[in-house]
Amino acid sequence: MLIFAVFVFYPFARNIYLSMYSTPPFPNLPSQFVGLSQYGQVLVSHNFLNSLWVTALFVVYTVPAGLVLGLLLALLAHQKLRGIRAFRTVFASPVATSVAVASVIFFTLLNPQVGLFTYWLGQQDQLSVLDNPTWALVAVSVVTIWQNVGLAFILMSAGLQAVPDELLEACEIDGAKRWARLRHVILPLLSPTIFFAVVVGTILSLQSFGQIDLLTQGGPLQRTNLLVYNIYDQVFNQNNAGRAAVMAIALFWITLVLALIQIRLLERRVTYAN
């Protein structure tokens, strides 16, 4: 309880406190109580709205793609084939890779001079995609998807394991073809897992930080300035703890509301009384 208080409640309260003080432009000047007025300012600022938009795009790019890929790989790995164990390990390995390692791998692959990807794409010696305002967010998303696929794969595999073999055999005898079996039996039975993966995936995506810090630092032109990175940037580079605190609270509410909406929406579709 004490640990909880120190690491959760205190920062939370402190954050609310901070959000009501405007941070002075120069250090050492006393910060000033401005109450809720700072919220109005920050929440309509271009910087915040841009972050919000970029974050939304990022979630849309990463969550469904990661989920679908994870599901496909899990379906593939679930087949009774020789040597499938090795595949399972390979598919799951991104989870075990830290954000830092993944970022470095992709940073190298995308490097304009020596990167393999740039070589394949025939874009050698041009601007790295990470510096390209149009493609930077996509590139960062790809790294994130690659990272999240492992988790989605593990979740989906566990879900598939839980589908009773007898049901799949009943399908075989009833004459359900591959697609019908997937659509009418496997996916409905997997829906609680998928639902869980969507919620967790969204929260994870909203909190992405490491890959931005290592790959783009929010650039180019703030096109990858995700909320969490922006908060970090405000505190440590712009020295504006007040703004950061407001954004943190905004992020908290966004996450909470999204999760609640998802739970409401999806719960209705996935429950079948047991």
Partner 1 sequence: MGQVTLRGVSKHYGTVEAVRDFDLKVMDREFLVLLGPSGCGKSTVLRIIAGLEDPDEGTVEIGDRVVNDVEPKDRNIAMVFQNYALYPHMTVHRNIDFPLKCRGMPKPERDGLVAEAAESLGLTPLLDRRPAQLSGGQRQRVALARAIVRRPEVFLMDEPLSNLDAKLRVQTRTELIELQRRLATTVVYVTHDQIEGMTMANRLAVMNEGALEQVAPPSEVYAHPASLFVAQFIGNPPMNTVIGKPARVDGELGIETSGGQIPLTPGQCQAVEASSAESVAVGMRPERITIASSGPLPATVAVVESLGSEHHVICRLADDQEVVVRLGTDVPVPKEGARVHLGFEAGHLHLFDAATGDRIGL
CB of 270 to partner 1, least distance (A): 9
Among 49, 81, 184, 261, binds partner 1 (CB under 8 A): 184
172 forms part of the interface with partner 1 (CB under 8 A)? yes
How many beta carbons lie within 10 A of that of residue 39, not counting itself?
Answer: 16
176 forms part of the interface with partner 1 (CB under 8 A)? yes
Report 213-272 residues binding partner 1 (CB under 8 A): 272
3-state secondary structure 46-99: HHHHHHHHHHHHHHHHHHHHHHHHHHHHHHHHHCCCCCHHHHHHHHHHHHHCCH
CB of 190 to partner 1, least distance (A): 10
Q: What is the rounded CA–CA span in Å between residue 226 and residue 207? A: 9
Q: What is the rounded CA–CA span in Å between residue 57 and residue 264? A: 22
Give the side-chain half-sphere CA count within 13 A for 38.
24
Looking at the Cβ atoms of 1 and 273, the one nearer to partner 1 is: 273
177 forms part of the interface with partner 1 (CB under 8 A)? yes
Among 11, 40, 133, 164, binds partner 1 (CB under 8 A): 164
162 forms part of the interface with partner 1 (CB under 8 A)? no
CA distance to 77, 96, 102, 154, per residue, from 89 (Å):
10, 10, 17, 10
CB of 47 to partner 1, least distance (A): 46
How many residues bind partner 1 (CB under 8 A)? The answer is: 19
Q: Contact residues for partner 1 (CB under 8 A)?
A: 164, 166-167, 169-170, 172-177, 180, 184-185, 188-189, 272-274
